[in-house]
Amino acid sequence: MDYKIADISLADFGRKEINIAEQEMPGLMSIRKKYTSEQPLKNVNIMGSLHMTIQTAVLIETLVALGANVRWASCNIFSTQDHAAAAIAKAGIPVFAWKGETLEEYWWCTECALDFSDSDGGKSNGPGMIVDDGSDATMMIHKGVEIEKNPSLLEKDYSGEQEDLRELMNCLKQEYSKNATRWTEVAKNIKGVSEETTTGVHRLQQMADAGILLFPAINVNDSVTKSKFDNIYGCRHSVIDGLNRAMDVMIGGKVVVVCGYGDVGKGCVQALDGQGARVIVTEIDPICALQAAVDGYEVTTVEDTLGRADIYITTTGNKDIIRLEHMEKMKDQAIVANIGHFDNEIQVDQLNKSGAQKINIKPQVDKYTFSAGNSIYLLAEGRLMNLGCATGHPSFVMSNSFSNQVLAQIELWKNDYEVGLYRLPKHLDEEVARLHLEKIGVKLTELTDEQADYLGINKNGPYKSEHYRY
């Protein structure tokens, strides 16, 4: 069988949880009902690089129901739920993911999921479409193409780079020795990618601005039914779950620093405030800083909180937010965690090289003791604590995000987009929201013809302009 997972015997447990999740994911189930007979993705090779969770299993089986040939890998070494992966493997869908991968194994899994040479009878060696989270699959292809154009890149010294990049380059070097044109051929056949996260969109935008993006991309993250639901309400749910499962400390009364007051930061702050924490926000953006201040929170720098804060959570998608010099000066027993995307928000590499004594407490919880005698607890090795230490966002919220992903895949496949970065149209955003209303008992007020004329809109939507901020 074409898969590599932790334990296939977990499949029946995974299937039971998938059945429960389906009841909480009305958007995806409605899309299945609407499109299964049409088969809009019939025989399309779709590769997914996205957390292999129970909710993602429902997304995968929705793509399959719409006709796609799917291969999957997780986008994080700790985020796979092994029973979910087992259920997908038992259903005959190639999946390469397990909780606790090494970075070498991670890139191997991504490479395997991108290889369709066996699964479609040798008709192609790569996907026609990609579902991405963090743009790792997209980056692997782009780096591969770059190397095939300039093989001397393989001889560069990457010892000073993040371990993530070092292992990617090692993987690409091995592949280049076997097939020196693989990634160029793969890129030619890709019709598009739909990207899930803020971090991934940043990467795509940088590639588009530099003129090196190789295929069209739809920014799913900035759909309102993704960013204002997954990022805010999902994090509001899962940040507490991650902290409780990892440390089980009383949050009420603690001083908690949240780095960033974007959508993810706002969700975290709401949750922590609701638990009775004394929340401090750090920000670079004057607008977000003003929002946090007017919402009632102290806004200052990380440096200003050292020695008094109990918990630090990064939410930014940027690098070096919490540096080694910060961690060395933190209050004894401080907890440090990240709910952004990559582990470079916290200087984990530098921490591991610092000489601090490291003791593993339990999976995804490590204690570091500095020479001065103070200690910190690092969650999930600086990677996503809500997925590394807990199970991520709840099914209902993910139904919103994943409905956008499926619609983006259909949109990209049926239309010929020029290379660039796009967003889903407003009417599809509203449709995703509409699909979730009945489940929670919402009744919409309907505009009269006169009211619609007064506003100058169609009474059936879209109801807001493209630039409306919600």
- Beta-strand relationship, 311-314 and 255-259: parallel
Quote the CA–CA distance of 75 and 78 in Å, as a whole number.
9
User: Which residue among the candidates 81, 219, 221, 347 is catalytic per the annotation?
Assistant: 221
User: Which residue among the candidates 401, 403, 404, 409 is catalytic per the annotation?
Assistant: 401
- Residue 416 annotated among the catalytic residues of the structure: no
Q: If DSSP codes are grouped into helix, strand and coil, which group holds residue 284?
A: coil
First to last CA, the chain: 47
- Residue 124 annotated among the catalytic residues of the structure: no
User: Which residue among the candidates 22, 45, 51, 125 is catalytic per the annotation?
Assistant: 51
User: Which residue among the candidates 49, 399, 405, 409 is catalytic per the annotation?
Assistant: 405
- Residue 436 annotated among the catalytic residues of the structure: no
User: Which residue among the candidates 30, 231, 347, 374 is catalytic per the annotation?
Assistant: 231
- Residue 405 annotated among the catalytic residues of the structure: yes
- Which ranges in 9-149 belong to alpha helices (H)? 11-23, 26-35, 54-65, 82-90, 103-113, 136-149
Non-local CB neighbours of 376 within 8 Å, separated by 6+ positions? 327, 330, 333, 334, 335, 336, 367, 368, 370
**Do the Cβ atoms of 203 and 213 come closer than 8 Å?**
no
- Beta-strand relationship, 365-369 and 311-314: unpaired
- Residue 148 annotated among the catalytic residues of the structure: no
Q: Residue written as tokens 């506003």?
A: 455
User: Which residue among the candidates 83, 237, 254, 341 is catalytic per the annotation?
Assistant: 341
- Residue 221 annotated among the catalytic residues of the structure: yes
Annotated binding site for NAD(+): 197-199, 231, 260-267, 283, 318, 339-341, 386, 393
**Do the Cβ atoms of 80 and 53 come closer than 8 Å?**
yes
Quote the CA–CA distance of 265 and 268 in Å, as a whole number.
5
- Residue 235 annotated among the catalytic residues of the structure: yes
User: Which residue among the candidates 111, 133, 366, 429 is catalytic per the annotation?
Assistant: 133
User: Which residue among the candidates 132, 230, 343, 411 is catalytic per the annotation?
Assistant: 230
- Residue 230 annotated among the catalytic residues of the structure: yes
- Residue 427 annotated among the catalytic residues of the structure: no
User: Which residue among the candidates 82, 175, 196, 429 is catalytic per the annotation?
Assistant: 196
- Residue 132 annotated among the catalytic residues of the structure: no
How long is the chain? 470
User: Which residue among the candidates 75, 109, 171, 235 is catalytic per the annotation?
Assistant: 235
Annotated binding site for substrate: 53, 133, 196, 226, 230
User: Which residue among the candidates 30, 45, 49, 79 is catalytic per the annotation?
Assistant: 79
Annotated binding site: 53, 133, 196-199, 226, 230-231, 260-267, 283, 318, 339-341, 386, 393
- Beta-strand relationship, 192-195 and 217-219: parallel
- Residue 196 annotated among the catalytic residues of the structure: yes
- Residue 341 annotated among the catalytic residues of the structure: yes
* Active-site amino acid positions: 51, 74, 79, 133, 196, 221, 226, 230-231, 235, 341, 393, 401, 405
